[in-house]
């Protein structure tokens, strides 16, 4: 019975031993693979000191390249400034990365390597050594038992007894070695299992180090981004096309947008008698080149004077690409309501009231444009651009709803209203905006050669004394204001206004298709 118990105990120990060995081998493989993959994620050279590691980081090379590039450009270049600031930021990020990688190496990589390559192999080695010592013990014990049997059956009892005693000492020594090795192995196994929480902590330390590294890196970026944004905002040489009017004017320190003034000045020089101005599409390459030149804020535009259609196309593109139309989104409904007023005088009154609500910068640029368009319409007998035609092709670029569909839908749904808004404003530009306009408002451009004076048949009618009535109307709801409008526009003028409105609607259907094509260009 005792023999069977010992045998069962031996089998149980062997089973537990194999299970332990399998688990340790699994931990070893996992730790080894994790160490290998984690080391491949590091950009620095493992085992080197901080200075050498920092120099070898790709971020360090990037920061150096940026700073060198910034020095070549100089501080007068926005790109040079950006490269200097960003290069310094990349250098600081490289320092954070170096500290993070050294911490990972110390707190995670080295312990994992110790576990996979030292601790577990030592335990496995100790177990193999125990197996050898057990074999040595079994061999010594077998020899001792054989010698004991020989004493009983032998004749030289004294010699056999001495030999048996010697073998007994060898058995005891082997047993002592087995016990020592077993104790050491048991201690190592207990230590291994008791430290599993510590081994798991390596992975927690990895995430904690990563979180701390990203927080410090984010702090570096957040400290430098405001500086970069400030320099970006202070840089005046930014594209005008597609930029909000307020931003462009503030950045450039202008009253009138550069593309608007430049195009108007060029058209005043060479485009006023050009037939179909704003209706005939320009060459795409020429238009693209002119827009790029205007985005660079250059005043060297002589080559474009000979192509007024390209200049007109650039002006339309600028108006169309504004994030908010020149006549604004928030006044869209008021413009439409004003255009729907049936009485011509009251309609003009409503349009003036709405126009007066335009934000300052929008109003200044709208006034500048309308004054030019009125001047252009004075040459309508030659250029065929009557106020109606101008309103059809240019109106949809001045006012549109905030939620729009396709270009065709916009033209169909909005253009009739826009024509009835823009046409009378062009016709009565001198009444809407009585003060004269200096088209060369910035002084950047040469004034066009003076031409013979033309009678402004589109302006406000004269009073009996021959002077134009500059009186501003009062509130649209005040009776006095209505009387003022009736006094200003006698019956024959109101009839003409009604006729103009009918002709505008008719002209829209004639030119609508061409308008859509122009807008798409």
Q: Mapped to the 3 state alphabet, what secondary structure does 290-313 carry?
A: HHHHHHCCCCCCHHHCCCHHHHHH
Count the Cβ atoms, other than its own, within 10 Å of residue 487.
Answer: 12
Is 1-235's fold the same as 245-432's? no
- CA-to-CA distance for 374 and 454, rounded, in angstroms? 12
* pTM of the predicted protein model: 0.55
CB proximity list for 281: less than 8 A, separation 6 or greater: 309, 313, 517, 518, 521
Q: Which helix (H) or strand (E) holds 111?
A: helix 110-114
Q: List the chain domain ranges.
A: 1-235, 245-432
pLDDT at 236 (0 to 100): 54
Count the Cβ atoms, other than its own, within 10 Å of residue 138.
Answer: 13
Q: What is the CATH number of domain 1-235?
A: 1.20.1270.60
pLDDT at 521 (0 to 100): 43
Is residue 94 within 8 Å of residue 63, measured between CB atoms?
Answer: yes
- What average pLDDT values come out for the chain (521 residues) when binned by 10 residues? 51 59 84 90 82 88 90 80 88 93 92 89 88 91 86 72 86 91 86 84 92 95 86 69 89 89 92 90 89 77 86 94 93 92 92 94 95 94 93 91 61 69 93 90 69 39 35 34 37 41 39 40 43
Which CATH architecture does the domain made up of 245-432 adopt?
A: Orthogonal Bundle (1.10)
CA separation, residue 176 to residues 122, 131, 143 (Å):
21, 14, 17
pLDDT at 283 (0 to 100): 87
Block residue for tokens 């390249």 = 65
Per the rule left: phi > 0, alpha: psi between -120 and 50, beta: everything else, 282 is beta
Q: Give the chain's count of helices (H) and strands (E).
A: 21, 0
CB proximity list for 87: less than 8 A, separation 6 or greater: 62, 63, 64, 65, 66, 67, 69, 70
CB proximity list for 52: less than 8 A, separation 6 or greater: 45
3-state secondary structure of 462: strand
Block residue for tokens 């080559």 = 303
3-state secondary structure of 468: strand
pLDDT at 104 (0 to 100): 92
pLDDT at 199 (0 to 100): 87
Count the Cβ atoms, other than its own, within 10 Å of residue 232.
Answer: 12
């Amino acid at each position: 019975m005792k023999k069977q118990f010992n045998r069962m105990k031996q089998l149980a120990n062997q089973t537990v031993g194999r299970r332990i060995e399998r688990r340790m081998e699994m931990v070893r493989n996992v730790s080894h693979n994790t160490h290998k993959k984690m080391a491949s994620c590091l950009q620095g050279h493992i085992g080197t000191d901080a200075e050498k590691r920092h120099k070898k980081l790709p971020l360090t090379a990037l920061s150096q390249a940026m700073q060198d590039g910034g020095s070549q450009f100089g501080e007068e270049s926005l790109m040079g400034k950006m490269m200097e600031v960003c290069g310094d930021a990349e250098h600081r990020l490289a320092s954070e990365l170096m500290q993070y990688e050294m911490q990972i190496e110390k707190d995670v990589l080295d312990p994992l390597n110790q576990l996979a390559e030292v601790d577990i192999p030592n335990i496995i080695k100790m177990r193999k050594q125990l197996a050898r010592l057990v074999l040595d013990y079994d061999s010594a014990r077998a020899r001792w038992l054989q010698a004991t049997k020989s004493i009983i059956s032998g004749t030289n009892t004294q010699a056999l007894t001495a030999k048996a005693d010697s073998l007994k000492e060898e058995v005891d020594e082997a047993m002592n070695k087995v016990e020592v090795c077993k104790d050491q192995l048991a201690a190592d196994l207990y230590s291994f299992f008791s430290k599993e929480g510590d081994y798991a902590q390596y992975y927690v330390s990895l995430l904690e180090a990563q979180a701390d590294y990203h927080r410090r890196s984010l702090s570096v970026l957040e400290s430098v981004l405001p500086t970069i944004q400030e320099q970006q905002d202070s840089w005046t040489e930014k594209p005008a096309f597609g930029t909000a009017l307020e931003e462009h004017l503030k950045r450039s320190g202008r009253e009138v947008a550069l593309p608007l003034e430049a195009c108007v000045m060029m058209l005043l020089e060479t485009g006023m008698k050009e037939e179909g101005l704003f209706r005939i599409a320009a060459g795409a390459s020429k238009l693209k080149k002119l827009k790029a030149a205007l985005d660079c804020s250059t005043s060297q535009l002589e080559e474009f004077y000979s192509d007024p259609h390209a200049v007109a196309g650039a002006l339309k593109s600028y108006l169309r690409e504004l994030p908010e139309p020149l006549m604004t989104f928030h006044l869209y409904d008021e413009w439409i309501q004003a255009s729907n007023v049936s009485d011509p005088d009251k309609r003009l009154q409503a349009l003036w009231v709405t126009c007066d609500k335009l934000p300052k910068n929008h109003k200044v640029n709208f006034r500048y444009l309308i004054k030019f368009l009125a001047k252009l319409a004075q040459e309508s007998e030659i250029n065929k651009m009557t106020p109606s035609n101008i309103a059809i092709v240019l109106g949809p670029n001045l006012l549109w709803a905030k939620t729009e569909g396709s270009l065709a839908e916009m033209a169909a749904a909005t253009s009739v209203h826009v024509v009835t808004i823009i046409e009378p404003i062009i016709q009565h530009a001198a009444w809407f905006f009585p003060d004269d306009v200096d088209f060369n408002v910035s002084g950047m451009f040469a004034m066009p050669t003076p031409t013979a004076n033309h009678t402004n048949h589109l302006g406000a009618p004269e009073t009996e004394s021959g002077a134009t009535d500059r009186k501003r109307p009062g509130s649209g709801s005040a009776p006095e204001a209505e009387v003022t409008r009736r006094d200003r526009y006698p019956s024959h003028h109101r009839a003409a206004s009604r006729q103009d409105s009918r002709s505008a609607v008719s002209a829209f259907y004639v030119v609508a298709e061409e308008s859509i094509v122009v807008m798409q260009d």
